[in-house]
Amino acid sequence: MKIVLWVFLLLAGVLILITVIGWLLPRDHVATRIGRYRQPPEAIWKAITDVDAMPSWRDGLKSVEHLPDRNGLPAHLEITSDGKIPFETIEMTPPQKLVTRIADPKLPFGGTWTFEIAPDSDGATLRITERGYVANPFFRFMSRFVFSQTSTMETYLKSLAKKFGEKPGIGE
C-alpha cells in the first residue's frame, strides 16, 4: 500500500512541477517554417485557399465547413481528430500573402498563421509564421517540450509537398 501512495505522490509532484514550469513559460510564441516547392506561386496560392479541397491532401484534416464571411473575407470550420476549429481570414493578397486566425476565443489556444509565398529559382517558397498562444500552463509546457510548437506547420508543409508529388523541403 505504501508503494501505491508513493507512486501517486510522485505522479502528483510531476504534474505540479510541469504546471509550475508552464506558468513560468511565456503564454505567447512566434514560430516559422518554410517549404520549398517546384510550383509557381499561383499553384501554391490555389492549394492554400481552396478549403474545399484541403481534406483531400492535408494530413489530419477530416472535413471543412464554410462559415459566413467576416468583414468580407472567407471563414471556415476545420474538423480534425482533435475537434472543430473555426478560422477566419483577416488578410488576402493573392498570390503572395494570406493571414488566418483561430476564431474562437474560448479555445485554450489561438493565434494567427501568416502564409507568405515568394517565387524562387526552382518554383516558390511558402513561409508560415505562427503567432500563437497557449493559455493552459500544463499544455504550454507540453507544446514547448513535448509536441513542438512547429509540428503542425511542418505537417502542413509536408502534406502540401505530397499533394504536388514532391519531397518536402522544409527549413526555418
d(CA 113, CA 152): 11
How confident is the model at residue 147, as a pLDDT?
83
d(CA 4, CA 29): 39
CATH code, residues 2-171: 3.30.530.20
Domains of the chain: which residue ranges? 2-171
119: cell is 517565387
pLDDT tens digit at each of 172 positions of the chain: 789 888 888 888 888 888 888 789 999 999 999 999 999 999 999 999 999 999 999 999 999 999 999 999 999 999 998 899 999 999 999 999 999 999 999 999 999 999 999 999 999 999 999 999 999 998 899 888 888 888 999 999 999 999 999 998 887 6
